[in-house]
Every structure is written in C-alpha cells, then in structure tokens.
Structure 1
Amino acid sequence: MTLEEYKKLAPTERLSIFMESLSMTNRTPEYYVNWTKVARETRKYEVELNTLNYLIGKQNIFDEAFALFSKQPDLLCAIPSLIACRDTKLDILSVDEQDNMSFYSLNFARIDKSKILEYTNFVQQTGLLNFLKEKANRSLVDYVYGVEAGLDSNARKNRSGTTMENIVERNVEKVCREYGLEYMAQASASYIKNRWDITVPVDKSERRFDVAIYNPNTNRLWLIETNYYGGGGSKLKAVAGEFTELNAFVRDTPDSVEFVWVTDGQGWHTAHRPLAEAFGHIDYVFNLEMLRTEYFRDLFLC
C-alpha cells in the first residue's frame, strides 16, 4: 500500500492497520545495560573503593572503620555507591528502642569531619559493615560494578524512548541524504524560524521536536514526535490527547507545516479509544513496521 492509498482510508481503517502491526518490543541488546555509564560511575570512586578493601574481613570492624574514616574522611564519599544510592545528601529517620523518632542528615559529597562517628554509625546501621566483615570476599570495585549495573536498570524506561528517537532519526537521515532534504534533531520553534524562516506555533515555549525535516524545494516542514509504550497506563490517554492538541497547534500557521507521530508498543491495546480519537485528527500516525515501507520517503517528497 502506498502512502496516498493509506491517506485515503478512513481513520478507523488506518487505526486498524496500525494496531495490527504493532511491534512486540523495541528493546535492542543495548537496552539492558549501559556499560559505558556503569564504568564511568564506578571509576568515580575507584581509589576510595580500593582503599576500603582494607576493611574486608576485619573482626573489630566498627573501630577499624571509624579509625579509617577519621584519617581519610573522603573515603566516605564512596558509601552511597556501596549501598546502591544515587543521592549524596541523605535525610535519615532514626527510631530508638522506645519508638522515639528523630531526623538527621548526612552529606556524602561534602564530608563533615565533625560527624565521623555519625557517618560510621550510619554505615554500620545500613548493614554495610557486617557485609564487609562477613560476606565480602573480593574487590569492592568489582562489587560496585555490579551495583551500578543494577542501578542502571532504572534508566531503561528512558532508553526505550531514546531507542525510538534513534530509529526514527536513522530513517530520516537516509531519506534526507538520498533526496537532499535537511533535518535537525531536538529542534525548537526558534531554531526552525532562524534556520528555515518557518513559523511553528507551539503549546509550550520550551517544546523541542524530536526531529524536524525541511524540503528546500517545496518549502515544507515536517515535525516528528516519537515514543514507545510496552505497557498500559493512564499516561497513554494523556499522550494521545497532548499530541492531538499539538497537531492542531503546529498546523495553525500560514507556512506549510505537518505533524507526524511515530509511536509503537503493545501498550496501545489498553488505550484504543484515545488513540482512535487521535487518528481522527492526526493524518500521519506511524509505527515501526510502517517505517519499513516507503511512507517516510513519499511523505517528505510530496
């Protein structure tokens, strides 16, 4: 089916084609762990971690730790990494045996040398000292490498969106290179005005479009937003509504501007109704399977 044939279909027919060709996943092998980031985060405290190896297996470990931290307070900067925490300033609740509560803070980025005992007590109460005494049997650098790999899993949701952006940009780049078109990733309305003298009304002043494509032969502009939803949730309804409104915004200009939404994922099966409403307003809604067709090429050349 050509793009022209697809455009002539009723919104319900286009939606049906879209839903039937949703991808199972967009998770490439690189999705699971960003090893470059893991290595970078581990290297931050490599010297401190190697020094803290001294505590491994020590019997009187609290006194040993207190003495070590007193001599080298900056070693405490590595503690958040050892307890799988990204924060460096920690607000802590303390509950005593009578269930009395109190609160205190410890800054692991700027060590307060007058609080070495409090830092050491905290490290003990987290269970880290007992781990170093009883369980640790190898380099703490290797241990933190594993911790960082686990923490990196929290970034997978963002990587899913980045994967979509990369896939779309690669497709756009091929078409632009072949047909002499221009494009820009993360393009703002002001950038588009300065570079191509096209006015793009936007719903948010800070709005940046994932990709903007310009055809100098026809003076037409296409603005692409992309995302991926492997699971359901209320956000899908909100996103469908947001992009329906955004489509109306960007087309409210005397210049030739079109909005393109590239989205995918099995999550859309849980938000059929809001997506159907979006199809009724947005002419160009594509998924990954559709990128394999000639839709992109035909769209930007028309």
Structure 2
Amino acid sequence: MNLNEYLSMNNQDKFDYFMKTRTSTNRTPKYWVNWDKVIRDLKEHELNLNTLNYLVGKKNIRQEAKNLFISQPDLLKTIPVLLATRDSDLDVLAFDDIGRMYTYNINFHDIDISKIDKYINFIDETGLFDFLSQHVNRSLVDYVFGVEAGLDSNARKNRGGKQNEDILSHYLELMCKKDDELEYSTQATADAIMKRWNAYVPEILEKGRKGGRRYDGAVYNKATKKVLICETNFYGGGGSKLKAVSGEFSDLYATSLGPAKNVEFAWISDGPGWDTAKNPLFEAFQIIPNIFNLKMVQEGMLKELIKGEK
C-alpha cells in the first residue's frame, strides 16, 4: 500500500490496517547483550580482580582479605561487581543480637579503611568469602565477565526503547542516501533544525527539562523547504503509558506541529502492546493523520510524505 491509498481511507480503516500489519518484536540480535559495554566495564576492574585472585581457595580468608584490603584499600571498590550490583553506596538492613531491626550504610566508592571490620563483616555475611574460598574454579576475571553480561541484560528495557529509534535512523539513512534532495538528523531540537536548515519548527519546552524537545528524527527536503518530524516507540506489553503517549502525541500535533507551516509530523509506533490500548490509539487516529507502523515505514510512506507524493 502507498501513502495516498492509506490517507484516502477513513480513520477506522486506517486504524484496522495499522493494527493488522504490526510486527511482533523490534528486537534485533544486538538487543540481548551489549558486548562492547561488558568488555569495557570488565577492563575497569581487571587489575583488581587479578589481585583478588589471591583470595581464591584460602582457608583463613577473613584474615587474608583483611590484610590484603589494609595494604590495598582500593581493592574494596571491586566488591560490588562481585556481588552483581552497580551500586557502590549501599544501605543495608540487619538485625541485632536480640532481633531488633536496624539499617546501616557501607560505602565502596569512598573507602574508609578505619572501618575495615565493617567491610569484612558485610562481605562475610553476603556469602562472598565462602564463595571465594570454596566454590571458585576459575579466575575472578572470567566470573565477572559473566556477571557483567548478566548486569547488562538488566539494561534491556532501556535498549528496547532505543531499538525503534535505531530502526528509524536506519530507514532515514537509507532514504536520504538514495535522494540528494533529502537530509536527516536524529535527536534534533527545534533550535538545531533552525541552525542546520533554516527551517522553523515550533519550540516545545518540556516540563522539568532544559531546552526544547528532542525529536527522534527529522528529515529536510531541500527542494520544498519542508521538514518531517518523526517520533517513534514500540510496546511489547500493555500499561498506562500507552494511553498517556497517545494523548501526548495528539496534543503535540494539534497544538504545535499540525498548524505549523512547512512541517509534517509522523508518529511511528508498533508492537502487540496496542492490543491493550485500542481506544486511546483510535482517538489519536482522529487527530493525527500520519500514524505508521514499521511495515508502513518499510513500504516507503515516510519518503512519500516528505516528498509530497500523496
């Protein structure tokens, strides 16, 4: 289907076409682990980890560790990653001898070696000493490589949000590479668009943020002097955010981008999550003419829109 055919439909038919042509996932192979980050984070600890290998298999590990940390306090900065956490300033819940609950803080970033016994007791109570003395079969560098890969998997949620931005960037690059009249930018503000292309886009000042809104993508047509503003997202599951984002982009189009001269707006969204929020999405279709999914982008609708082929 081309853009003209899509825009000639009534809103119900457009909505139905959008829903039935969605994709089930936006996860490329790079989604699961960012190996470059894993290796980079590992190198930060590698020297300390090789030194801490000294403790592996030690029988009197508490005393051996205490002596080692007193002589090299910075080794304590590596303890959090051995516990599979990014946090270095920890609040801890504990119980005293008669069972009363209390909390204490232990800081592995700003080391206070005068509190060495506090560090030793904490490490012991986590079970790390037992693990090092009885269960480690390989280098701690190899162990932390696995830990870092696991910690990186916790960042998948953030990567999932960025995936659609990367996919959009991929299509914009392909589109502009094949057409000398088109140029694109990602994470573009109204100010950046004005400076680069001398094209006016209404400034959207977001609450609690400095500067204007950053748009996921912007395409400029040198022949027509038009700008296409793109926002994109993907929802694998439901939640209140889907209703909120429908309202957000509807307001953005109705109050700012829609009335602006020489500005087009496209909202590119996708994912099975919209099955849980059909009503707010359909309401957005009443306001925003250019709501596309990834298949529609692949079919060339963004290029048709900025080239005026409708």
TM score, norm. by length of structure 2: 0.93
Asked if 1:220 corresponds to 2:226, the answer is yes
1:229 counterpart (235, 241, 256): 235
Residue 67 of structure 2 aligns with which residue?
A: 67
How big is each residue's C-alpha offset from its partner over 1:231-261, in whole Å with a ceiling of 9 and x where there is no partner? 1111111111111111123325552112111
Deviates more, 1:213-222 or 1:89-98: 89-98
How is 1:114-263 mapped onto 2 (pairs within 5 angstroms)? 114-180=114-180, 181-197=182-198, 198-204=200-206, 205-251=211-257, 253-263=259-269
C-alpha distance 122-240 of structure 1, shift in aligned 2 (>3 A): same
Percent of aligned pairs with the same amino acid = 49
Letter in 1 for 2:261: D
Separation in structure 2 between the aligned mates of residue 201 and residue 72 of structure 1, nearest angstrom: 53
1:203 to partner: Cα distance: 4.9
Q: Is 1:73–1:113's contact at 8 Å kept on the other side of the alignment?
A: yes
Deviates more, 1:251-260 or 1:86-95: 251-260
Separation in structure 2 between the aligned mates of residue 171 and residue 250 of structure 1, nearest angstrom: 25
Deviates more, 1:186-195 or 1:274-283: 186-195
Q: Is 1:201–1:252's contact at 8 Å kept on the other side of the alignment?
A: no
Separation in structure 2 between the aligned mates of residue 201 and residue 61 of structure 1, nearest angstrom: 61
C-alpha distance 178-260 of structure 1, shift in aligned 2 (>3 A): same
SS state at 1:86 partner: coil
Q: Is 1:27–1:160's contact at 8 Å kept on the other side of the alignment?
A: yes
SS state at 2:295 partner: helix
1:43 to partner: Cα distance: 0.9
Q: Is 2:258–2:265's contact at 8 Å kept on the other side of the alignment?
A: no
SS state at 1:84 partner: coil
SS state at 2:188 partner: strand
Separation in structure 2 between the aligned mates of residue 167 and residue 251 of structure 1, nearest angstrom: 23
Residue 300 of structure 1 aligns with which residue?
A: 306
- RMSD over aligned Cα atoms: 1.4
SS state at 1:66 partner: helix
How big is each residue's C-alpha offset from its partner over 1:16-40, in whole Å with a ceiling of 9 and x where there is no partner? 0011011111111111111111111
Q: Is 1:250–1:258's contact at 8 Å kept on the other side of the alignment?
A: no
SS state at 1:179 partner: coil
Q: Is 2:232–2:267's contact at 8 Å kept on the other side of the alignment?
A: yes
C-alpha distance 159-88 of structure 1, shift in aligned 2 (>3 A): same
Separation in structure 1 between the aligned mates of residue 255 and residue 86 of structure 2, nearest angstrom: 39
Deviates more, 1:142-151 or 1:154-163: 154-163
TM score, norm. by length of structure 1: 0.96
1:134 to partner: Cα distance: 1.7
C-alpha distance 254-156 of structure 1, shift in aligned 2 (>3 A): closer
Separation in structure 2 between the aligned mates of residue 274 and residue 261 of structure 1, nearest angstrom: 14
C-alpha distance 80-160 of structure 1, shift in aligned 2 (>3 A): same
1:278 counterpart (281, 284, 291): 284
Q: Is 2:173–2:184's contact at 8 Å kept on the other side of the alignment?
A: yes
1:294 to partner: Cα distance: 2.4
Letter in 1 for 2:157: K
Q: Is 2:23–2:271's contact at 8 Å kept on the other side of the alignment?
A: yes
SS state at 1:263 partner: strand
Separation in structure 1 between the aligned mates of residue 229 and residue 34 of structure 2, nearest angstrom: 29
SS state at 1:106 partner: strand
Separation in structure 1 between the aligned mates of residue 167 and residue 103 of structure 2, nearest angstrom: 48
Q: Is 1:189–1:199's contact at 8 Å kept on the other side of the alignment?
A: yes
Separation in structure 2 between the aligned mates of residue 104 and residue 39 of structure 1, nearest angstrom: 33
SS state at 2:178 partner: helix
SS state at 2:154 partner: helix
Deviates more, 1:38-47 or 1:168-177: 168-177
C-alpha distance 203-245 of structure 1, shift in aligned 2 (>3 A): farther
